[in-house]
């Protein structure tokens, strides 16, 4: 039981770290929206979370096994493909970055709320309420 709770809290704390990293990258994109030749960056949340939990691609133990591959390299910041790149080479699309920033903020807060409710429930259980 204790290991299960510890594992859940570990996943949630890693999720917060990844969300924070993503938020910093998105903020950097927004701050550099007018910087010539700046390339918008992002990270894939699922890939980063799996990497932080040491969950990697399936390994094969036999040459006849089919290895599953990922479409992105774990632990790497990816460059975002721009729909309408600007003339000066900047690939930041402000509306996209602001939308991603807002969505990530909501998901960060939701994860934080979930952790708080989990801890509150544990405290209540310890007190016998």
Rounded mean pLDDT, 4-27: 92
Q: CA dist 103 to 24, 89, 96, 99, 109, Å? A: 14, 26, 11, 6, 10
Check residue 40 and give its pLDDT.
Answer: 95
Rounded mean pLDDT, 22-27: 96
User: 55-110 pLDDT, tens per residue?
Assistant: 655 566 777 666 554 444 445 788 988 888 789 999 999 999 999 999 999 999 99
Please classify residue 25 by burial: count the beta carbons closer than 10 Å to its beta carbon, then call 0-12 exposed, 13-18 middle and 19+ buried.
Answer: buried
Give the pTM. Answer: 0.77
Select from 30, 18, 12 the least CA-distant residue to 100: 30
Which one-letter DSSP state was computed for residue 22? Answer: H
């Amino acid at each position: 039981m204790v290991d299960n709770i510890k594992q859940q809290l570990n996943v949630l704390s890693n999720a917060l770290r990844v969300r924070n990293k993503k938020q910093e990258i998105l903020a950097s994109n927004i701050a550099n929206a007018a910087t010539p030749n700046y390339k918008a960056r992002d990270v894939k949340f699922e890939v980063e979370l799996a990497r932080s939990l040491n969950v990697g691609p399936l390994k094969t133990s036999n040459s006849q096994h089919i290895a599953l591959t990922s479409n992105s390299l774990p632990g790497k910041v990816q460059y975002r493909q721009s729909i309408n790149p600007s003339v000066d080479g900047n690939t930041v699309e402000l509306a996209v970055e602001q939308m991603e920033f807002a969505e990530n903020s909501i998901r960060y807060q939701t994860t934080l709320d979930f952790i708080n409710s989990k801890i509150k429930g544990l405290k209540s259980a310890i007190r016998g309420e």
